[in-house]
Amino acid sequence: MLHPDLLKDHNLRSTSSRSEILRLFETSSHALSYSDIEKEVSASFDRVTVYRTLRTFLDRGVIHKVLDDGGALKYALCNEHCRVAEHHHDHVHFKCTTCGETQCLDDVEIPSIKLPKGYKAKEVNLLIQGTCPTCLSEL
């Protein structure tokens, strides 16, 4: 769903790089790697601009990091509850072992985990691997 005021909602000035990279996230059904983003916008923006835009989006709660099973870093849009002060994206990520795409499953909450005394969680990530509905329908 395209959200025309997303940059304004996060107190960000609209620039061509921010608008273009945000459009990529809004139109993608899966998490994007840095190389995915760079391939799409390399004709318009240099690597430093892409990196700074992603860093700003992370810092302002527009996107969040998604780690996959190989440790590769990907990015996905945050839900409407994220802001500059803190991210609220404790949801499941699903990586399809057939197509390789990683998706946020916002409606699936990570179960509460009780840590031993002396530990304090800052962030929780849960990655489930399997076959996505698109790949299942092609079998």
Taking the domains of the chain in order of start, what are their residue ranges?
6-138
**82 Cβ neighbours under 8 A, 6+ residues apart:** 61, 62, 64, 88, 89
Q: What is the pLDDT of residue 126?
A: 86
* pLDDT(87) > 60: no
Give the C-alpha separation, 89 to 13, whole Å.
Answer: 24
Contact indicator for 50, 37 with CB cutoff of 8 Å: yes
Q: What's 5's DSSP letter?
A: T
Class of domain 6-138: mainly alpha
What confidence tens digit (pLDDT) does each residue in 5-36 have?
888 888 899 999 999 999 999 999 899 999 99
Confidence of residue 112 (pLDDT cuts 50, 70, 90): confident
